[in-house]
Amino acid sequence: MAIERTLSIIKPDAVKKNVVGKILSRFEDADLNISAMRFALLSKDDAAGFYAVHKERPFFNDLVEFMTSGPVCIQVLEGEDAIKKNRELMGATDPKQADAGTIRADFAESIDANAVHGSDSSENAAIEIAYFFPSMNVYRR
Ligand code: IDP
Ligand code: MG
């Protein structure tokens, strides 16, 4: 299996709950390395640009509103099969549907405030990593 990189965001609800460290531990315990990380308070344009693929969806404005409601913590995670592995650690988009023991089952309240973002494909991972991190800031093992 290939070493991959994926973009992860700990969303405003989870930052407010003070569970950044607990969520980062899930990644490390699953052998995903944190290769870059920073906090940011996204502007409406930042969030809308990041979620541009969803701009026709009915929940788009709520999503942008939520993602700009407080600071987020953004990471690049690196490891074997990192994109799929992170999606498994995250759990389903709706925390009520998420498997027990996943990040969303344990830390999220609702489909709007669902604790984490994770890239869904290698193409999107590359786009999303470049959106937030200049390549010189991504640590290479
Ligand atoms: P994902 O985060 O599991 O990849 P996506 O379908 O890519 O889910 O949707 C992006 C984000 O938009 C979700 O994490 C969630 O916060 C929000 N979202 C998705 N579907 C809905 C919905 O039906 N109602 C409200 N918010 C939604
Ligand atoms: Mg998605």
How far is the CA of 98 from the CAs of 17, 88, 136, in angstroms? 19, 10, 35
Give the integer Cα–Cα distance in Å for 67 and 9.
10
Cβ of 93 less than 6 Å from ligand 1 = yes
Categorize the per-residue pLDDT at 80 as very low, low, confident or very high, splitting at 50, 70 and 90.
very high
Residue nearest to atom 14 of ligand 1 (CA): 93
Give the integer Cα–Cα distance in Å for 51 and 68.
12
Q: Mean of the pLDDT values across residues 90-107? A: 98
Instruction: Work out which ligand 1 atom sits closest to the CA atom of 92.
Output: 3
Catalytic residue from among 36, 95, 117, 118: 117
Say whether 54 is catalytic.
no
pLDDT of res. 86:
98
What distance lies between CA 140 and its chain's CA centroid? 20
* Whether 141 contacts 78, CB under 8 Å: yes
pTM: 0.96
Cβ of 88 less than 6 Å from ligand 1 = no
Mean pLDDT (the chain) is 96
